[in-house]
Amino acid sequence: MRTIRSILWVSAIVSLGAHGWSGPPVAAQGEQPIYNTVKKKLQEGKPVVGATVYTSDPNIYCAMASSGFDFLWIEMQHSPLSYDDVAKMIRACKGAKAIPFIRVPDATQGDLQKATDIGALGVIVPMVSTVQEAKDAVRFTKYPPEGRRSQGGGQYGDIWGDGYRASANDNIVVVVMIEDPAGVAIADEIAAVPGVDVVFAASGDLGSFSGYSRDDPRYEAMITKIHDDTLAAGAKLGGPFQWHDREGFSFFQASSESGLIKAGAEVLLKTMKGQYEY
């Protein structure tokens, strides 16, 4: 396991560069502290990058969380991860640099309540193709008066401190994913929903649901519409890490742990300068 952590560390450093961690920022008197460093960077116009997590192994999670990424995209839509698994992962790396974000299966009250209760400071909602789905993403994530999140048990206080209830609405990032032509058609309305922080252009499923290849001008027209509508609404724009050089994008999903292990192994072996063949 130590070897895996080392590989992840090498891969992250080579890909992103080393980042220091000096603790959450302190707010001025009378303001809520912004301890979600992802939200702070987005507000400052800076890009953020998150690696994707499918495994329930806390050791791998911690290696990724400490490798320089801004956040971890914890995948609960397309994985067998349970909320119990993810709660243990987040607790195991309390204080790590990477902020926990969870892609929930759907914009339901139960999924969003559980995700935030276990300490996620970001929720990623897939398959948003109606304004109501975007509103639900905000409504069930935020406490009153901005939303309908109920107070209950959870480990959020242990992770983020006693002032969590008062500061959660200001710190949680709501990401909605547009993945089909129906969502593209009303991207302007989705992006304008109050409380939506990021609109993510789902590169793969936009092609899958539309039937357009990525080199088709009609595919590019969908991406352009999402781009223009999102930025016009004042929200941030997300996409795959491969689009990090596209103008206007600032929220990026990077590779999963398996891809990072492979890339890290290649980097490690290349340091032997031809002494080892693989």
Give the pLDDT of residue 47. 98
Active site residue 78: yes
Q: Indicate the pTM of the whole model.
A: 0.86
Say what the pLDDT of residue 174 is: 98
At residue 12's C-alpha, the angle toward residues 235 and 3, to 5°, is 145
- As a whole number of Å, the CA-based R_g of the chain is 19
User: Rounded to the nearest 5°, which phi and psi values hold at 122?
Assistant: -145, 135
> What is residue 277's predicted lDDT score, i.e. its pLDDT?
61
Q: Determine the pLDDT at residue 218.
A: 97
pLDDT of residue 278: 52
> Rounded to whole angstroms, what are the CA distances from 104 to 19, 125, 186?
28, 6, 22
Task: Determine the pLDDT at residue 272.
Answer: 81
**Catalytic member of 19, 78, 227, 244:** 78
Question: What are the extents of the domains in the chain?
Answer: 2-15+35-269
| Amino acid 226: pLDDT | 98
Residue 268's pLDDT is 86
**CATH code matching the domain that covers 2-15+35-269, chosen among 3.40.640.10, 3.40.50.620, 3.20.20.60, 1.20.140.10:** 3.20.20.60
Q: What is the pLDDT along the chain (278 residues), one digit of tens a residue?
A: 444 444 444 444 334 433 333 344 444 445 789 999 999 999 999 999 999 999 999 999 999 999 999 999 999 999 999 999 999 999 999 999 999 999 999 999 999 999 999 999 999 999 999 999 999 999 999 999 999 999 888 899 999 999 999 999 999 999 999 999 999 999 999 999 999 999 999 999 999 999 999 999 999 999 999 999 999 999 999 999 999 999 999 999 999 998 998 988 888 888 887 665 65
